[in-house]
Amino acid sequence: MKRGNLFLLIGNMFANKTGTLMHEIEVLRDFGRKKILVAKPDWDTRSGHGDIKDFHGKTMTAVEVSTTSPWEIFHLISREEECCGKLDVIAFDEIQFFSRDFYLVVNRLLERGYDVIASGLALDFRNEPFGSTLELIGLCPDLRTVRWLASRCAQCGEVAYLTQRLIDGKPAPYDSPQVLVGGKESYEPRCYSCFELPEKPSGAYSLKSP
Ligand SMILES: [Zn+2]
């Protein structure tokens, strides 16, 4: 069986990752005539259940997959294919929320010949790896299938690759939890110069996230 291809859309918050994912899905459906299943983690509730949503409010129907057991996607694929025929592409949004097994799940999908398109945060608010997003680069056949999206710094207007977390308008400390669901009231894009992370250990330390 011919191995599928992975197309990865990664970046910070407010980089239009979901909007870009939806555009790619529409092109694949409308011009490529591909059958696509769109999926998202089951505890990303920001866009409501059963949809993915960009920050302009555009939505697209999506099935929900267990964050702790992303192997569930194979059950959802079987169900969809029994009803509506063979799928070509599996699309995932917010992949940083899936457990580290997600790497193995995507590899299995590619082995089974599905193309995969996936978007998510590369880094958390600490500028440290978020979930298995960065590991998935290892499954891309060449670097043209990875697109690193950026936003603009809310402080100075330069290109912004980082996500600044704010609590009551002030930079959140290093020890606040990795996942804190919120929008523009809790996060803004920032460049490396304007990024602030109070209480970051000054000496040697280990990654907090697994
Ligand atoms: Zn800046």
Q: pTM for the complete prediction?
A: 0.95
Q: In the CATH scheme, what architecture does the domain 6-149 have?
A: 3-Layer(aba) Sandwich (3.40)
CA of 167 to the centre of ligand 1 (A): 19
The full 3-state SS of the chain, as one line of letters, equals CCCCCEEEEEECCCCCHHHHHHHHHHHHHHCCCCCEEEEEECCCCCCCCCEEECCCCCEEECEEECCCCHHHHHHHHHHHHHHHCCCCEEEECCHHHCCCCHHHHHHHHHHCCCEEEEEEECECCCCCECCCCCHHHHHCCCHHHEEEECEECCCCCCEECEEEEEECCEECCCCCCCCCCCCCCCEEEECCCCCCCCCCCCCCCCCCCC
CA of 77 to the centre of ligand 1 (A): 43
CA of 120 to the centre of ligand 1 (A): 22
CA of 197 to the centre of ligand 1 (A): 14
CA of 152 to the centre of ligand 1 (A): 8
Catalytic annotation, pick one of 94, 185, 196, 199: 94
Q: Is 199 a catalytic residue?
A: no
Each of the 210 residues of the chain gets a pLDDT tens digit; together they read 899 999 999 999 999 999 999 999 999 999 999 999 999 999 866 666 788 998 888 999 999 999 999 999 999 999 999 999 999 999 999 999 999 999 999 999 999 999 999 999 999 999 999 999 999 999 997 888 999 999 999 999 999 999 999 999 999 999 999 888 888 889 999 999 999 999 999 999 998 765
